[in-house]
Structure 1
Amino acid sequence: MAHKTIFITGGASGIGRAVAVKFGSQGWFVGLADVNEAGMRETAAMIPAGMSSTHKLDVRDRAAWDVALADCAKVSGGRIDVVFNNAGIPLGGNLADNNTAEIERCLDINLKGVLFGAQAAHPWLKASAPGSCLLSTASAAGIYGSPGASVYSATKFGVRALTECLDGEWAADQIKVADLMPAFIDTPLIDMTPNQQTNEHIRGRVQNAGLEITPVADVAEAAWNAVHGTALHTRVGKTAHRLAFAARWMPGRLRKMGKASGKPLGGR
């Protein structure tokens, strides 16, 4: 039986790497895309020999998407079954303190890059349907907006909305559309500072708030289940599940908590 192919952005580390290893271990060909070529080579070394390819890709470049997907298909056997729209960056802090450059970078990578990825992926996924899937990384920050994460949350609400829109738009093409909503995941992203105005890493803020940090392997397993299941949104981590419950059943209390704390409630 011919192997299936998954194309993963942000494949050089973190969630992208974990998902690449998971699918590779199940016999899938894995196309890795990132701006970090050294990191992609490290990820490729964790996948069975001959079952991966690397593609330098800035997700903000629409034309580069077409080139990367075509190049992946050339070495994978001519088809792409899953595109995992995963590349993303963090941005925290009060909106008034975020500068123009970091706002634009977050919007361009986290939202525009996902839109471009979906657009470029469509013909490939249509050709391999039924059974094909567009999977995107949203976030628990896309469940309920929280103080200190306005730009980031806006991008992740956008990813969530895109998933719901394309679930309808692409139904006739028999393409499955889904997203992941992780909370705080143990990846290099949480060792970054949330914005240019602070030196405090995200990991420290999460730990000081008493929130859990979920193993990245849990996200990889969730990605596998999302591709092979029927859920539109898949929450990952206790914080994501608690936030979804509160947003549905206790929105007033959640709103009061956000005003009182002034701290982010989301993740990724």
Structure 2
Amino acid sequence: MNESIFITGAGAGIGRETALIFASKGWFIGAADRDEAALKSLQQSLGEDACSIHVMDVVDEASVKAGLADFARRTGGQLRLLHNNAGILKVGRFEDIDMATHKAIVEINVIGLMNLLHAAFPYLKATPGAQVINMSSASAAFGTPDFASYSASKHAVRAMTEALSIEWEPYGIQVGDLMPPFVNTGMVQSNEGKSALFGNLGVNLGPVDVAAAVWQQACQPRLHRPLSAQFRMLWPLTKSSPSSLTRAVMKRLWRPQ
């Protein structure tokens, strides 16, 4: 069996492009998503011998366990790389977004991530050189206005990544995350115009760029991998600068120009 990767949110955007890149490198793809039609389209592109598909709701623990068990039957119980990509976004003032949406953001972005990590652990532990790549965000560097619940969820992803990078190290499992700013996906496109940050910072990455970074992270793991030249420059400053300075910069970026 070739090296294997299990990707959530694989039906479109970053997840689909990641599947295409890893398949081109000879990896076996486990593609999970709620959208069965999108998964079947991906499998048709890659071939059934190179890709298994799993209709999955990451918030549903039973669904996650069943999907991973089905995948593991194709790989002899091995999971070389788990890519936690599934997530949702809603942009706007905190008080203008209904609580059902705030809860869904946390449930999918955080609880969904935890469900995958918990269910995947036995397969990762059984695989030499196993690795986890979580999708955090540039918004995990400092709380981001108009992205309050999303930013909070990505802070949680960052914290989970840091904690498990220590806890799982004795098992030989490397845990890291990617921290992209805005990516030109359908999720971002549906929210553009709802915050001045989109215009002031720009949407300069595409799904292919992030998928390429997933491959880079697989080959050269880091705890945190900030994406885009702009954020790679700002990331060290957010860690070393006083929080008052980071807050002032964020406040300025939030204002319409």
Q: Paired residue for 1:221?
A: 212
The letter for the 1-side match of 2:221 is: T
Q: Which moved more, 1:55-64 or 1:72-81?
A: 72-81
Mapped contact 2:9–2:85 kept (Cα < 8 A): yes
SS of the residue aligned with 1:230? coil
Aligned to 2:150: 152
Gaps of 5+ in 2: none
- Note the aligned Cα RMSD (angstroms): 2.1
Q: Is the 8 A contact 1:25 1:48 kept in 2?
A: no
* In structure 1, distance between residues paired with 2:124 and 2:43: 23
Normalised by the length of structure 2, the TM-score is: 0.92
Equivalents in 1 of 2:187, 2:234: separation in Å?
21
Counterpart AA for 2:34? V
- The residue number in structure 2 matching 1:197 is none
Q: Determine if contact 2:31/2:53 at 8 Å carries over to the other structure.
A: yes
Runs of 4+ residues deviating >6 angstroms:
none
Task: Give matches, 1:85-234, under 5 Å.
Answer: 85-128=84-127, 130-193=128-191, 200=193, 206=198, 208-209=199-200, 211-234=202-225
Matching residue's letter, 1:23: F
Mapped partners of 1:8, 1:263: distance in 2: 36
Aligned pairs, how many?
Answer: 255
Report the CA distance shift for 1:260/1:229 in structure 2 as closer, same or farther (over 3 A): closer
Q: Helix, strand or coil for the counterpart of 1:45?
A: helix
Structure 1 match to 2:8: 9
User: Partners in 2 of 1:137 and 1:38 — Cα distance?
Assistant: 24
Following superposition, the deviation at residue 52 of structure 1 comes to: 0.1
**% identical aligned pairs:** 34
Counterpart CA distance in 2 for 1:91 and 1:218 is 22
CA 1:260–1:235 in 2, change beyond 3 Å: closer, same or farther?
closer
Q: Give the SS at the match of 1:118.
A: helix
Unpaired runs of 5+ in structure 1? 195-199
Structure 2 contact 165–174 (Cα < 8 Å) conserved: yes
TM-score (structure 1 length as normaliser): 0.88
